[in-house]
Amino acid sequence: MTTILIAEDEDILRITLRNKLKVNWPDANIVAEAETGTEALMLINELKPDVAFLDIQMGRLSGIDVIQEITHQCYVIFVTAYDQYAIQAFEAGAVDYLLKPYTNQRMKNCIERIKSHLGVAHLEQKKSPINVSGDHYLKKLKIQIGNKLWFIEIKDIICFRASGRYITVVTKDRESLMKTPLKTIIKQLDPEYFKQIHRSTIINTDQLDYIKNTENEQMLAYMKDMQTPLNISRNFSNQFKC
C-alpha cells in the first residue's frame, strides 16, 4: 500500500486535499498530516512515506526547504497557489506541481503520474544459477503499475539508479521502482553491457551516447534518451578511459 504524507498550513485546504486523495486514491494510506515545514521534515524522515504532498509556504521552512533537507527520499508533489516556484520545485526533484485551485481531473492526472513512478518491478529470470553464462543473466523485468503489467526487456533499460529503499528503473517510456539493492541487481546483469558508474548508478552501455570530461575533471555519461547526464565517479572512471 502506498503511504502518503500531507503538509498544508491552512486547515480547510488540508482537509480538501485529504478528501480528494481519499476519493481518487482509495487504496493509499495517509499516514500523517503536518501544518508546518518543520513538522513535515520531521515526519517524513521518521515515517518514511512513499509520497509527500507539500505546500510551498509553511512558516520557517518552505516546501522547497523540506525537499532539500529530508534524508528519506520520497516522491514529492507541491500544492500551492504560487506559480513562480514551479521551476525551483522541479529542479529540487518534485514529481508534479498542483496549482491551487486545482480540478478533480488535475488531481487524477497527478495520481496517475505518481503511480507510473511507483510501479514495482520484479525479477524475471530462469531458475538456474545466475552468472554462469550469458544464458543465465537477467532477461526481463516484470513491472506492475496499478492494474497494468509490463514485461520490460533488459536491453531496453537505460539505467538503474538507487533511490532510498528502492532502485529506479529507467526506460525511454517510464520510470518504475523495485525493492532490490543495487549490489544484488548488478550480479544478475551481463557485465558486457551493464556497467556500474557510481555507487548509486548502473548504465546499459548499449543505451550510452557518449562520455564527456568537464573542466573540473568530472566524467559524465550522456544516455540516448535522457536529457540529464549521469555522473561517473572516480572509482568507476577507469573502465571508460582509453
Q: Are residues 102 and 171 in the same domain?
A: no
Looking up residue 160, the CATH number of its domain turns out to be 2.40.50.1020
Same domain? For 45 and 134 the reply is no
Domain match, 65 and 142 both? no
If asked whether residues 25 and 80 sit together in one domain, one would say yes
Is the same domain home to 56 and 76?
A: yes
pTM of the model: 0.54
Here the CATH number for the domain that contains residue 91 is 3.40.50.2300
Residues 6+ apart with CB under 8 A from 64: 56, 85, 88, 89, 92
Per-residue pLDDT for the chain (242 aa), expressed as one digit of tens each? 889 999 999 999 999 999 999 999 999 999 999 999 999 999 999 998 989 999 998 888 898 889 888 887 788 999 998 888 888 887 777 888 999 888 889 999 999 888 876 665 555 544 333 333 455 788 888 776 655 677 889 999 999 998 656 788 899 888 877 777 788 888 889 999 999 999 889 999 999 999 998 877 789 999 999 988 999 998 898 888 76
Same domain assignment for residues 133 and 169: yes
Domain that holds residue 13: 3-118
Q: Are 148 and 231 in the same domain?
A: yes
Which domain-ending residue is among 77, 96, 118? 118
With residue 220 as reference, give the H or E element that holds it.
strand 219-223
Among 76, 97, 118, give the residue marking a domain's end. 118
Of 206, 189, 203, 193, which is closest to residue 231 (Cα–Cα)?
203
Residues 75 and 140 both lie in one domain: no
Q: Are residues 76 and 111 in the same domain?
A: yes
Domain boundary at 87, 118, 149, which? 118
Q: Characterise 217 by phi-psi region: left (phi > 0), alpha (psi -120 to 50), beta (else).
A: left
Are residues 131 and 235 both part of a single domain?
A: yes
Q: 17 and 106, same structural domain?
A: yes
| Residues 151 and 102 reside in one and the same domain | no
- Total domain count, the chain: 2
Residues 6+ apart with CB under 8 A from 77: 51, 52, 53, 54, 94, 95, 96, 97, 98, 110, 114
